[in-house]
Amino acid sequence: MMHYILALDQGTTSSRAILFDANGAMADSAQQEYAQHFPQPGWVEHNGRDIWASQLEVAKTLIQRCPSPSSIAAIAITNQRETTLLWDRKTGQPLGPAIVWQDRRTADQCATMRAQGLTELIQTKTGLVLDAYFSGTKLAWLLDNIDGARSRAERGELAFGTVDSWLVWNLTAGASHITDVSNASRTLLFNLHTLEWDDELLTLFNIPRAVLPTIVPSAGQLAQSSPSVLGHAIPITAMIGDQQAATFGQGCFKPGMAKNTYGTGCFMLLNTGSEPVASRHHLLSTVGWQRASSPSGGLHTTYCLEASVFMGGATVQWLRDGLNIIQTAAEVEALALSVPDVGDTYLVPAFTGLGAPHWDGHARGTLIGMTRGTTKAHIARAALEAIALQVADVFEAMQKDAGLNLSELRVDGGASKNNLLLQMQANILGVPVIRPKIVETTALGAAYLGGLAAGLWSSTDAISALWQEDQRFEPQWSDTESAVKRARWRQAIERAKSWSQD
Alpha carbons 87 and 39: distance in angstroms, whole number: 20
Using CB under 6 A as the binding rule, whether residue 10 contacts ligand ADP is answered as no
Count the neighbouring beta carbons within 10 Å of the beta carbon of residue 468: 11
Binding part of the chain for ligand ADP, among 27-35, 348-356, 411-419, 450-458 by CB under 6 A, reads: 411-419
Minimal CA–CA distance to 10: which of 109, 85, 68? 85
Strands (E), 353-496: 366-368, 409-412, 433-436, 469-473
Strand order in the sheet with 258-262: 284-292, 299-309, 266-273, 258-262, 409-412, 433-436, 469-473
- In angstroms, give the least distance from the CB of 310 to ligand ADP: 11
Interaction between residue 276 and ligand ADP (CB under 6 A): no
Provide, rounded to whole angstroms, the least separation between the CB of residue 326 and ligand ADP.
9
Q: How many residues bind ligand ADP (CB under 6 A)?
A: 16
Residue 16 CA to residue 7 CA, distance in Å, equals 8
Using rule CB under 6 A, residue 471 touches ligand ADP: no
Nearer to ligand ADP by Cβ, of 255 and 414: the residue is 414
Shortest Å, Cβ 93 to ligand ADP:
29
Alpha helices in 185-324 (DSSP H): 199-205, 227-230, 242-249, 313-317
* Dihedral class, residue 254 (left if φ above 0, else alpha if ψ from -120 to 50, else beta): beta
Shortest Å distance, C-beta 330 to ligand ADP: 4
| Whole-angstrom distance, CA of residue 218 vs CA of residue 43 | 30
Cβ distance to ligand ADP smaller for residue 217 or 349: 349
Give the containing element (helix H, strand E) for 17.
strand 14-21
Q: Compute the half-sphere exposure of residue 242: CA atoms within 13 Å on the CB side of its CA.
A: 22
Residue from the set 172, 183, 264, 345 that interacts with ligand ADP by CB under 6 A: 264
Of 158-166, 170-178, 301-309, 416-424, the segment contacting ligand ADP by CB under 6 A is: 416-424
The H or E element that residue 30 is part of is strand 26-33
Q: Per CB under 6 A, does 441 bind ligand ADP?
A: no
Residue nearest to ligand ADP (CB): 414
281 vs 435 by CB, closer to ligand ADP = 435
Under DSSP, the state recorded for 209 is G
Nearer to ligand ADP among residue 182 and residue 418 (C-beta): 418
- Identify whether the C-beta of residue 60 lies closer than 8 Å to the C-beta of residue 30: no
Q: Closest separation between CB of residue 77 and ligand ADP, Å? A: 18
| Binding status of residue 352 toward ligand ADP by CB under 6 A | no
Q: Which long-range contacts (CB under 8 A, 24 or more apart) does 108-113 make?
A: 109/137, 109/140, 109/141, 110/137, 113/204
CB of 243 to ligand ADP, least distance (A): 11
Residues 280-319 that bind ligand ADP (CB under 6 A): 313-314, 316-317
Which residue number, 123 or 250, has a Cβ lying nearer to ligand ADP? Answer: 250
Element (H, E) at 221: strand 219-224
> Considering beta carbons, is residue 48 or 413 the nearer one to ligand ADP?
413
Give residues 64-83 in contact with ligand ADP (rule: CB under 6 A).
none
| Closer residue to ligand ADP, CB minimum distance, 302 or 308 | 308
Q: Quote the Cα angle for 18-168-460, to 5°.
A: 55
| Contact pick of 332, 389, 453, 456 for ligand ADP (by CB under 6 A) | 332
CB of 237 to ligand ADP, least distance (A): 25
Judged by CB under 6 A, which of 127, 355, 413, 475 binds ligand ADP?
413
Contacts to ligand ADP by CB under 6 A? 263-264, 313-314, 316-317, 329-330, 332-333, 413-415, 417-418, 421
